[in-house]
Structure 1
Amino acid sequence: MHAEVIATNTVLIVDDDASIRDALADFLSGHGYAVRTAASATACDRQLAEASADLIVLDVMMPGEDGLSLCRRLSNANTPILMLSALDAVTDRIVGLEVGAWDYLTKPFEPRELLARVRALLRRPSRAGDEQRPSRGGVTFAGWWLDLEERRLRDPAGRAVSLSEGEHALLAAFVQRPGRILTRDALLDLARGMDAAPYDRAIDVAVSRLRRKLAEADPMPVIETVRGVGYRFLPTVRAA
């Protein structure tokens, strides 16, 4: 028996390699997930037309429409996408994340790492209800409270924390996409009000400044650095 069985979660595996597809399906099924499979982008579209999935494991290199194109099409559905690829260059990972993948795993990989990534992504808010990605109004995360419209922030003790326009824009970009790796270019586009020049190093400085301000009130880290790629917001975010 596995301690973390989540029988209601459905994972759709999209990979043209039958051996990989079947092995992943058997492994995830053994850990309590309802698994469906597709051998191509066309088959994936058919599967999603029949029923939605809670998470999609998607291979990059496929004949016909490749994984990057399919990921771009599916990115607006707000369904977590874990991209698989034999390509290990940082630029390849960045491209995958830029077209809408939530996370990226390089082949070959340990099945336990895949399982950990799946579990982490499924813990992130991405579907209907109170945990749907917030677009406006108040949100909470790790005890904090943020008003996205009024630019007000309170720490877990209820104390007001002052944010500049740029810091608020950066934090808003994170809380609206919890659990998703955001590249520096994506953050530059999303945080329009940033108090910095538009170049990669500006994001690193801005994130560092925001981290310090949050840590002054609560030392619990909320922003993870994904080396060579960008950043990820760790806490679960809920509508207040």
Structure 2
Amino acid sequence: MPVLIIDDDSAFRTALAHDLHQSGYTVHVSAGFESMVAVLLNVTPRTAIVDAHLPHGESRQAVMVLHRCDVPVVLLNERDASVDGWQRQQVASEVTMTKPVGWVDLDRYLRQLRSSPR
């Protein structure tokens, strides 16, 4: 199952990509909105994991484009950061998780997506 990680923290992105790959996922990574668009030109991920606090409002742009492409979003929020109104509105039927993300919960959600029709 192709998964797209969009996060500007390269260490986090690398670690999460490694864990996902070790669990059998096909992983694509992006540091922000522009590189996400480049990835979407070549692959349609089954889900996307998006950092809620990308600079310059890129998180909101990314979520809007992913939803237009019918890609479910797991939004990652920092432990002490608030989730503002746009985040709640944009991911009303999806998942918001807190960094550091619990691998068991994330994997469970991704497996549910893998088994559900799209």
Match 1:75 to one of 63, 67, 87: 67
Q: Which has the higher contact order (CA 8 A, sep 6+)?
A: 2
| Aligned 1:16-95 pairs, distance under 5 A | 16-86=8-78, 92=83, 95=86
Q: TM-score w.r.t. structure 1 length?
A: 0.44
Aligned counterpart, 1:119? 111
**Residue 103 (structure 2) pairs with residue 107 (structure 1):** no
The total of aligned residue pairs comes to 117
**Structure 1 residues not aligned, in runs of 5+:** 1-8, 127-240
CA deviation vs aligned residue, 1:144-184 (integer Å, no higher than 9, x gap):
xxxxxxxxxxxxxxxxxxxxxxxxxxxxxxxxxxxxxxxxx
Identity of aligned residues (%): 26
| Pair member with larger Rg | 1
Q: Which has the higher helix share?
A: 2
- Partner Cα distance (2:80, 2:70) in 1: 25
Deviation at 1:75, TM superposition (A): 1.2
Root-mean-square deviation (Å): 2.1
**Structure 2 residues not aligned, in runs of 5+:** none
The answer on whether the counterparts of 1:15 and 1:59 sit within 8 Å (CA) in structure 2 is yes
- Partner Cα distance (1:15, 1:59) in 2: 5
4+ aligned runs moved over 4 Å, structure 1: none
